Structure 1
């Protein structure tokens, strides 16, 4: 997508660049005198959030939660995409490798009448708030998914290998999101250097703290749920082994008697007795009955 002038008034101009090419970066370097190293940071898919100032250019590198780049759950780029914001005197430049929801939403909002006097600092703050909102929505999605899994485990009594995979996925998601948000503290703090009202900056900080707390809480909840799931699996396995052990108690003495009378000796008690066969079966039945009564009294 070519370099686009999204908004302009007598206070500022907003320039947006999506999926920049090397020619686009060269143009921004020459036209706005932005350090090329900073521009190259915007196209590195795995770069961490940061703030940097070179001369009069302030550079915020944010990461927004997104589903678009998610193919696995190994790195922060699997759950988020970058948004680079360059602040010059009266110009704000946003650079992103792919479609960015925060930029897309603010493009429509900035045309509203109440934003006709908006300044570059306020645009940067609104984008930052929308970035935090993306993490807030993700935390709600993870919480809903976790609740569904929890209901399936404890209410529907489903216990299969797929559940543990889903729980592990949630743990990876919450952990990676928490990592991004903790690293984002650096650029959040730097908003105090901009000419903004203290109340506006406080809103951003509070939102940042809230989403960090949400993901840390989610991470702890998922960890506990995994532990409970594994404990229930062990309990069910133990219950099966217990049932098998009880049944073996019935058949072990009977098998012992059958094994003795199965030996090839001519002289054995009751071997030639008329009722020997029935006496032996009765003894086996009596042993099984006594074993049953004993197990019931012990509440096994």
Structure 2
């Protein structure tokens, strides 16, 4: 895929969104935006987990958003989610990601500060986990119900059998 760069100017800051960066573009991105090459590389490494680093001129944050479809039936973090890296300070936010996140294209709010946009995107990333969590919760409920219902029936049957097999005590005891 080709690297796409979208620039959005707000009153007090600029947002630069870089999607599908190619490996050969990393050096150029680092030089153009005065970013650490290895942090950009981290943001694109397949297995990288969330992280935060504070540097003298900007903060670096990697977060993951849920991107798998229910029918995919995947089980590892790399297949379930994708990363967005944030390089930010009060004047600029640079987001770098390999996968598309639809909510990034639907941002229409005119944010006052870069931190407002950052919080908005982080909130949207967290929301990507809500629907899959609800699906898993329902599946767990169904499994628990099936186990407990079957267990209850087994115990009820055992109690019934044990009552039938035990000798009757005389009524005057």
TM class by smaller structure: 0.7 to 0.9
Structure 1, gaps ≥5 residues long: 158-231, 244-293
Q: Distance in 1 between matches of 2:165 and 2:11?
A: 89
SS in 1 for 2:128: helix
**Deviation (angstroms), 1:60:** 0.7
Q: What residue number does 2:137 align with?
A: 143
The 1:20/1:71 distance shift into structure 2, 3 A limit, reads: farther
The Cα of 1:62 is off from its aligned counterpart by: 0.7
Q: Is the 8 A contact 1:3 1:24 kept in 2?
A: no
Aligned-CA RMSD value: 3.1
In structure 2, the CA distance between the partners of 1:71 and 1:56, relative to structure 1 (3 Å rule), is: farther
Find 2:103's aligned residue among 85, 102, 105.
Answer: 105
Aligned counterparts of 2:82 and 2:60: Cα–Cα separation in 1:
16
* Structure 2 counterpart of 1:297, from 163, 167, 172: 167
- 3-state DSSP of counterpart to 2:12: coil
**2:57 matches 1:56:** yes
State the partner residue of 1:163. none
1:105-152 C-alpha deviation (Å, 9 max, x unpaired)? 14313x2xxx33432211111111112222333322211222233344
Structure 2-normalised TM-score?
0.75
Contact 1:57-1:87 within 8 A present in 2 as well: yes
Q: What's the CA shift string for 1:73-130, capped at 9, x where partnerless?
A: 2x43233221111114422111112122xxx214313x2xxx3343221111111111
Q: Which has the higher contact order (CA 8 A, sep 6+)?
A: 2
Return the index of the structure with the highest Cα Rg: 1
Higher helix share: 1
The 2-side partners of 1:43 and 1:71 are apart by: 24
- Count, aligned residues: 162
Normalized per residue, the structure richer in strand is: 2
**What are the ranges of 5 or more consecutive residues in structure 2 without an aligned counterpart?**
169-173
Q: Distance in 2 between matches of 1:33 and 1:126?
A: 24
Which residues in structure 2 correspond to 1:59-78 (within 5 Å)?
59-67=60-68, 72-73=74-75, 75-78=76-79
36-45 or 90-99, larger mean C-alpha shift: 90-99
Structure 1 position 6, deviation (Å): 4.4
For 1:21 and 1:57, locate their aligned partners in 2 and report how far apart those are by CA, in whole Å: 23
Counterpart mapping for 1:59-208 below 5 A? 59-67=60-68, 72-73=74-75, 75-100=76-101, 104-109=102-107, 111=108, 115-154=109-148, 157=150
